[in-house]
Amino acid sequence: MLLIMGLGVFACLTEVPLMSLYNGWILVDQLSLVMFMLTCLVGLLSLSCSGPSLKSAGFVGCVVMSTMASLGFFSSAGLFFFFIFFEAGLVPLVGLILGWGYQPERLQACLCLILYTVVGSLPLLGVICWHFLEYCSDTMIILKCNSNSLSWGVWLFVILSFLVKMPVFGVHGWLPKAHVEAPAAGSMILAGVLLKFGCYGLMRLMWCFGWSGGFLGDLLVSVGVWGGVMSSLICLVQSDLKSLIAYSSISHMSLVLVGILSCSGLGWNGSLLMMFCHGLSSPVLFGLANYVYYIYQSRSMMVCKGLLCINPLLCFLLFSGSVIGMGCPPSGNFFSEVMMVGSGCLFSWYLVLPMGLMGLLSAAYSLYLFSSVSHGGYSSSLKSSLAVFPGLVCLAVCCYWLFLLCLGLDFFCVN
């Protein structure tokens, strides 16, 4: 993990060509390097916030397997390995939910997750097999040079697989259930890395096959932006901490979808930046929610009150995570949202209203999250819960880094 992070820092300080390392098995470019760094950071962060679960070799093994599958997905040069790692990343997550989940409902959550993701991925497998029979190769660079642009009907089947994995509103039913039942490490890996499979896969196949846009692009952008508005509204009526953070992820992934489908340099750079920033800020919020659960033994925002008096440090970090999530300057989330709005305006001026509304709702549910937990009355029996959790140091470093990310925006330029 440290080696991959070192390669990312080296690439940030030096000029890396578009295809810096390539053979028949591995494809590494600027897009992959960013996702490598994100995967390793989230993996280390999830382990640091797991507490007693680290004593279990099975738990650590699931986290490591999920990290390795993610690294394999982000470096796959062939479509078959691309698909295998696309599905394999969820297997350790299912193990984490079943083995270390909180409630008996985790069985239903796993079943829902498997049905959504496996059924949604079958059209992608069919398209990959068809291209292999047509061109006798599954190597992306060969298909990019030789294959014709896909028709809108084929693109619809391909994109459906990635929309489920992001997910966007309408095919999101598995995500809140998985987050609520998963342990802290599972939620952090799911929000930080596995949701980016859909975004990265869409960007990679658009690069490979060529995107025709047209009516399908307009339809998907409309679904993304209005789905983001609906997800933001749902956040405002949530009473479960993890459920609120899960729905906020759907809103942010909808913005990423709009940026990718805008097919502009601004949109792609902003999408990559938002993928990285959300990939750190959302796990930070899930880690903080886990520490709130340790104190109150509940995730209900009706029960979790008065955190400011019980644990001021945790409350301050929750405030930092909330303002980063709402895109407060000078955090990287702020610049990514500015790029998203700019790319949306380049696509169509009709997107200004819903995207502006998403920004306002993002601020509203972030402040709702912080104010509900930090203020209010609390039980006197909770006054002794003043311990400084070891994982808070790592979460604080991530918050600090997200505020300084504005100094390295060049690293997220993929055009």
Residue 388: per-residue pLDDT = 55
User: With 80 as the cut, is the pLDDT of residue 4 above it?
Assistant: no
- Residues 154, 233 within the same domain: no
How much is the mean pLDDT over the chain?
A: 86
- Residues 284, 157 within the same domain: no
Q: How many domains does the chain have?
A: 2
- Residues 270, 347 within the same domain: yes
Sign of CA dihedral 161, 156, 253, 14: positive
1 located within any domain: no
Question: Letter for the amino acid at 149?
Answer: S
202 located within any domain: no
Residue 245: per-residue pLDDT = 96
pTM comes to 0.92
- Residues 156, 274 within the same domain: no
24 located within any domain: no
Could you list the residue range(s) of the whole structural domain that residue 74 is in? 32-196
Residue 24: per-residue pLDDT = 64
- Residues 135, 271 within the same domain: no
Residue 101: per-residue pLDDT = 85
| pLDDT tens column, 103-157 | 878 899 999 999 999 888 999 999 899 888 888 778 888 777 776 677 788 888 8
- Residues 282, 183 within the same domain: no
70 located within any domain: yes
Helix residue ranges per DSSP H, 101-214: 106-135, 140-146, 152-165, 174-181, 184-189, 196-209
Residue 11: per-residue pLDDT = 47
Kindly give, in sequence order, each residue whose CB lies less than 8 Å from that of residue 256, ignoring residues fewer than 6 positions away: 166, 199, 271, 274, 275, 278, 340
- Residues 112, 259 within the same domain: no
- Residues 88, 174 within the same domain: yes
Residue 383: per-residue pLDDT = 53
Helix residue ranges per DSSP H, 210-240: 215-235
Residue 130 tokens, joined: 């068809």
395 located within any domain: yes
Residue 163 tokens, joined: 């929309």
Residue 10: per-residue pLDDT = 45
- Residues 45, 124 within the same domain: yes
- Residues 135, 282 within the same domain: no
161 located within any domain: yes
- CA–CA distance, 67 with 73 (Å, rounded to integer): 10
Of 134, 164, 196, the last residue of a domain is 196
385 located within any domain: yes
- Residues 133, 219 within the same domain: no
| pLDDT tens column, 225-272 | 999 999 999 999 999 999 999 999 999 999 999 999 998 889 999 999
